[in-house]
């Protein structure tokens, strides 16, 4: 095992949060989370927090664009939205090539400003695809106002991430209990999917993923109440486990912040706070952190 995070080293950040599924950190110490009642929550470095945006639905995964606006995958209303610092929100898209996007799950902005976004399932109620898995999840890319479907047939498409060189895009296949990746070809199309790392086992349902600068791919394990990493040699190790979900409860996404990008923030389905710990390596800088 490359390292282990002791549960006693995990602290709580924020308070009274509602389904903080997505979490992102700015350079100045500000942290944003999604809010299950149709908003996003902004937590300032001094600990003060407020809810912003009348997004509706149930905001899920979030990311930060170069201008520090929040890109929201709203799994509750089938929209990808943009939330600005003043609380004003705008629609980015509600369709994929003219087809509905029923369950947008997680967005990621690359170095060219393109938004990659997963759609978990074509079923309107994503919980139906969790109870009775069907391979109808997809990955799309939003560029210049156009949403293009790049990959389909995914067993509940969840978190997504690009590697340091943006040569591959990675997707957490929750109901397949693994991570898959696609090569990004020169013309922008994707190559064939390949599994990255091993199967995670009966309770190893991956939700969110994020790289650190050492090339480890961090994976949140939502059913297991744990975190793991896929090392560059594609071996998988559970590095944090909270068997009873007393502190790290139903973890969904992970991001890195702080001056050295070694402060790890973990989103969750049920926790009223953000679990925080010091990571052994800095996170791979996202577009808003470069």
Assess if residue 85 is contained within a domain. yes
pLDDT at 164: 97
Q: How far is CA 212 from CA 35, 162, 204, 218, 280, in A?
A: 26, 11, 21, 8, 9
Assess if residue 246 is contained within a domain. yes
Calculate the average pLDDT of the chain. 96
Assess if residue 1 is contained within a domain. no
How confident is the model over 189-241, as pLDDT tens digits?
999 999 999 999 999 999 999 999 999 999 999 999 999 999 999 999 999 99
Assess if residue 24 is contained within a domain. yes
pLDDT at 68 over 90: yes
Assess if residue 2 is contained within a domain. no
Tokens (6 digits) for 11 = 């602290």
Assess if residue 110 is contained within a domain. yes
On whether the CB atoms of residues 241 and 224 are closer than 8 A, the answer is yes
pLDDT at 131: 77
pLDDT at 220: 98
Q: State which residues form the domain around 229.
A: 7-289
Assess if residue 96 is contained within a domain. yes
- Any idea what the CATH number is for the domain that residue 110 is in? 2.120.10.30
How confident is the model over 113-143, as pLDDT tens digits?
999 999 999 987 777 767 788 899 999 999 9
Domain count, the chain: 1
Assess if residue 220 is contained within a domain. yes
pTM: 0.97
């Amino acid at each position: 095992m490359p390292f282990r995070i002791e549960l006693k080293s995990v602290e709580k950040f924020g308070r009274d949060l509602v389904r903080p599924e997505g979490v992102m950190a700015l350079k100045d110490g500000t942290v944003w989370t999604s809010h299950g009642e149709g908003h996003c929550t902004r937590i300032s470095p001094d600990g003060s927090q407020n809810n912003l945006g009348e997004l509706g639905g149930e905001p899920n995964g979030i990311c930060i664009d170069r201008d520090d606006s929040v890109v929201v995958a709203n799994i509750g209303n089938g929209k990808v939205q943009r939330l600005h610092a003043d609380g004003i929100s705008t629609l980015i898209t509600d369709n994929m090539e003219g087809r509905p996007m029923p369950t947008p799950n997680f967005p990621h902005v690359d170095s060219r400003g393109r938004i990659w976004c997963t759609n978990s399932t074509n079923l309107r109620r994503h919980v139906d695809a969790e109870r009775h898995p069907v391979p109808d999840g997809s990955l799309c890319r939003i560029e210049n106002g156009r949403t293009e479907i790049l990959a389909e047939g995914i067993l509940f498409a969840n978190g997504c991430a690009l590697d340091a060189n943006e040569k591959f895009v990675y997707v957490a296949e929750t109901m397949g209990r693994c991570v898959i990746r696609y090569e990004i070809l020169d013309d922008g199309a994707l190559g064939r999917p390949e599994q990255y790392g091993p199967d995670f086992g009966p309770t190893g349902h991956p939700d969110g993923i994020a790289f650190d600068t050492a090339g480890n791919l961090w994976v949140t394990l939502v059913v297991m109440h744990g975190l793991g990493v896929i090392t560059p040699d594609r071996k998988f190790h559970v590095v944090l486990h909270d068997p009873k979900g007393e502190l790290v409860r139903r973890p969904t996404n992970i991001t890195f912040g702080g001056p050295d990008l070694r402060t790890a923030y973990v989103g969750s389905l049920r926790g009223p706070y953000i679990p925080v710990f010091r990571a052994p390596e800095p996170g791979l800088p996202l577009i808003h952190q470069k």
